[in-house]
Amino acid sequence: MFEQIKSILEQYAEITDITEQSTLEDDLGLSSFDVIEIVCEFEDAFDIEIADRDIPKFVRVKDIMDYLEVHGIHK
């Protein structure tokens, strides 16, 4: 799952050295608009709907992984 998430993030991030502990804004340089676009990509890639209220919970890459696992995604 990490590799698939990383692949999506690399399209938007300012760096390619992405780890599970990378922060979306500070480490990857993503804007809030970028994060919304990325969430749409995650929804398509993992066939899931992510509630708007959950988006602010995505601070680190690990937060995204945890969210997907809790919602039954184990790719």
**Is pLDDT of 75 > 70?**
no
- Arithmetic mean of pLDDT, 8-33: 94
Backbone angles phi, psi at 60, to 5 degrees: -115, 160
- Domain map (residue ranges) of the chain: 2-70
pLDDT for position 63 = 97
Q: How much is the pTM?
A: 0.89
Helical (H) or strand (E) element with 20: none
CATH number, domain 2-70, options 1.10.1040.10, 1.10.1200.10, 3.90.660.10, 3.30.200.20: 1.10.1200.10
pLDDT, tens digit (0-9, with 9 covering 90-100), for 23-62? 999 999 999 999 999 999 999 999 999 999 999 999 999 9
